[in-house]
């Protein structure tokens, strides 16, 4: 047996060092590889490789994982949603929101079409649908949504299938960003074929950038301590309320249709979206803390997802690639009808699949002033991704 981490503190220290080290390499070394394969993907890969090597097979790691994962996850969802003030998202305008939702819907079509065909070869038995719905949630607004769905479905999700979905998310995410960066030079041909209307892009970009920039403040230690406390106590309160709501629903005609994890996810999502429209949504350090929690949660999830799970079920890769093919074809048809340009289609696509951390990379590949559009599109995905994921789960469950 190789090196095994024996206690929970060493486990958390290793994961945070891994996340911090990769982010430091991106910031200070400025390696171009991080523009194609972001640090979050490397965290996935390294965590899964270490898991495959048996590095986390100890009672101490299991105890730390069990104690921290859900508690940090619900705090992450709450803090992340504090950025999702729909009044800010409205600065995107109806056209760009339509492009984003068009990407969400075309991805959903691929998920639904190919799932009945390939589910038998994807492993996981009857529980494959839950892992697939979690993957779709990630492809609407990023990895935070996938983590939320994992907690939402609880025992309904097959760990092997979830490991495959997590690995597929990593593979497709990396490949997709690389392909969209390569597609930049073909934008004139796309725009000509779709007769794209780009006349208002500069104005929309200016409005989005202004909205992103106007409330940026330097966070103090008091801000950090306060928002950490708010996030953690929100996690505790929402878990208590979720358990109470589930117990109440069992006494009604709804019965046990919704489990406790689902009730918690719904409550923390609604609470976060409500608080985002209050002064709480303007607190400094919200974006930074949500990213810290995202990296921590994703790193923890990766340590429970052996990479050989994907090798044992290669049809997951086929499934993902087929979804992306359908996505491109349908987005091209929609672009022909509504005259959407490749820049915004690509940005919306990565905002769906990668979230607000990745969308600005693609947007800025076209024009450095478009960064705000990518950020707000990613924020929109974080706001709706959990609900879209639950909807996809309901659909796929009918196809079992």
Q: Is 63 part of a structural domain of the chain?
A: no
Dihedrals phi, psi of 332, to nearest 5 degrees:
-65, -40
Residue 229: Cβ within 10 Å count: 10
Cα separation, 359 vs 347, in Å, equals: 5
Nearest Cα to Cα of residue 355 among 302, 290, 306, 305: 290
Q: Is 61 part of a structural domain of the chain?
A: no
Tokens coding 51: 């898991």
Q: Is 42 part of a structural domain of the chain?
A: no
What's the confidence (pLDDT) of residue 1?
47
Tokens coding 242: 């979720």
Tokens coding 200: 């208002």
pLDDT in tens, 115-173: 999 888 887 566 789 999 999 999 998 888 888 888 888 777 887 788 888 888 878 88
Domain that holds residue 104: 70-398
What's the confidence (pLDDT) of residue 392?
94
Q: Is the pLDDT of residue 214 over 70?
A: no
Cα separation, 59 vs 65, in Å, equals: 10
Cα separation, 393 vs 153, in Å, equals: 9
Q: Is 24 part of a structural domain of the chain?
A: no
pTM of the model: 0.82
Dihedrals phi, psi of 82, to nearest 5 degrees:
-65, -20
Question: CA 69 → CA 129, 294, 370, distances in Å?
Answer: 22, 11, 35
In total, the chain counts a number of residues equal to 400
pLDDT in tens, 21-70: 999 999 898 888 887 778 888 888 898 889 888 999 899 999 999 999 88
Mean pLDDT calculated for residue range 318-340: 95
Gyration radius of the chain over CA positions:
20
Which residues contact residue 102 at a Cβ distance below 8 angstroms, ignoring those fewer than 6 apart?
A: 331, 334, 340, 348
Q: Is 50 part of a structural domain of the chain?
A: no
Nearest Cα to Cα of residue 352 among 327, 371, 315: 327
Tokens coding 317: 């890769």
Q: Is 271 part of a structural domain of the chain?
A: yes
Element (H, E) at 113: helix 93-118
Q: Is the pLDDT of residue 248 over 90?
A: no
Residue 192: Cβ within 10 Å count: 9
Q: Is 104 part of a structural domain of the chain?
A: yes
Mean pLDDT calculated for residue range 319-336: 96
Q: Is 45 part of a structural domain of the chain?
A: no
Number of domains composing the chain: 1
- CA dihedral (70, 73, 75, 79) in degrees, to 10, reads -170
């Amino acid at each position: 047996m190789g090196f095994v981490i024996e206690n929970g503190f060493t486990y958390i220290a290793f994961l945070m060092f891994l996340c911090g080290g990769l982010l430091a390499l991106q910031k200070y070394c400025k390696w171009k590889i991080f523009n194609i394969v972001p640090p979050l993907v490397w965290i996935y890969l390294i965590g899964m490789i270490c898991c495959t090597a048996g590095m986390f097979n100890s009672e101490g790691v299991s105890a730390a994982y069990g104690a921290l994962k859900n508690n940090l996850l619900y705090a992450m969802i709450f803090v992340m949603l504090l950025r999702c003030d729909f009044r800010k998202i409205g600065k995107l305008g109806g056209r760009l929101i339509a492009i984003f939702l068009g990407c969400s819907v075309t991805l959903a079509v691929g998920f639904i079409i190919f799932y009945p065909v390939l589910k038998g070869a994807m492993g996981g038995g009857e529980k494959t649908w839950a892992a697939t719905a979690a993957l779709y949630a990630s492809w609407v607004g990023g990895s935070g949504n996938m983590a939320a769905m994992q907690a939402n479905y609880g025992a309904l999700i097959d760990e092997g299938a979830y490991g495959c979905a997590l690995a597929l998310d990593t593979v497709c995410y990396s490949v997709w960003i690389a392909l969209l960066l390569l597609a930049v030079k073909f934008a004139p041909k796309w725009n000509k074929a779709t007769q794209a209307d780009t006349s208002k892009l500069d104005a929309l970009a200016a409005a989005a950038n202004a909205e992103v920039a106007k409330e940026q403040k330097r966070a103090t230690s008091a801000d950090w301590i306060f928002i950490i406390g708010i996030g953690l106590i929100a996690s505790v309160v929402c878990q208590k309320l979720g358990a109470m709501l589930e117990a109440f629903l069992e006494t009604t005609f709804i019965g046990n249709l919704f489990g406790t994890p689902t009730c918690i996810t719904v409550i923390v999502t609604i609470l976060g979206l409500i608080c985002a429209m209050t002064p709480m949504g303007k607190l400094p350090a919200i974006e930074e803390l949500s990213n810290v929690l995202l990296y921590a949660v994703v790193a923890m999830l990766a340590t429970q997802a052996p990479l050989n799970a994907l090798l044992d079920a290669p049809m997951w890769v086929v499934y993902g690639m087929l979804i992306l093919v359908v996505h491109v074809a349908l987005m091209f048809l929609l672009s022909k009808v509504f005259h959407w340009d490749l820049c915004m289609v690509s940005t919306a696509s990565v905002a769906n699949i990668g979230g607000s951390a990745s969308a600005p990379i693609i947007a800025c590949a076209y024009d450095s002033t478009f960064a705000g559009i990518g950020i707000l599109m990613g924020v929109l995905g974080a706001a709706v991704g959990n609900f879209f994921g639950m909807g996809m789960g309901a659909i796929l469950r009918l196809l079992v």
